[in-house]
Amino acid sequence: MAKGRIIIDVDRCKGCGLCIQHCPVHILELDLTTTNIKGYTPLIVNDPDKCIACSFCAMMCPDSVITVERFIKE
């Protein structure tokens, strides 16, 4: 069960991979099947259920691509 989720602003992504390197649960990768408006291969989440909403990816992103939301129990 995911503890949160990330929202990716695809067209800002430059595909540098710093987020992928620092994700502790290894659920990020570059989507090599497509390109964004800048011509880079953008970030996707390959296993959203494992996200722990730690924000490491967003902290390491140089281009403010990632927003992190944590789920709250009702």
Can you say how many angstroms the Cα of residue 18 is from the centroid of all Cα atoms in its chain? 10
Please report whether residue 4 would count as binding another protein according to CB under 8 A: yes
**Position of tokens 């990768």?**
29
Please report whether residue 26 would count as binding another protein according to CB under 8 A: no
Residue from the set 8, 15, 42, 51 that interacts with another protein by CB under 8 A: 15
Structure tokens at 51: 């996200």
Q: Would you give the DSSP letter of residue 12?
A: G
Distance CA 11, CA 40 (A): 9
- In the complex, the smallest distance separating the C-beta of residue 17 from another protein, rounded to whole angstroms, is 6
Please report whether residue 59 would count as binding another protein according to CB under 8 A: yes
Residue from the set 10, 31, 36, 40 that interacts with another protein by CB under 8 A: 40
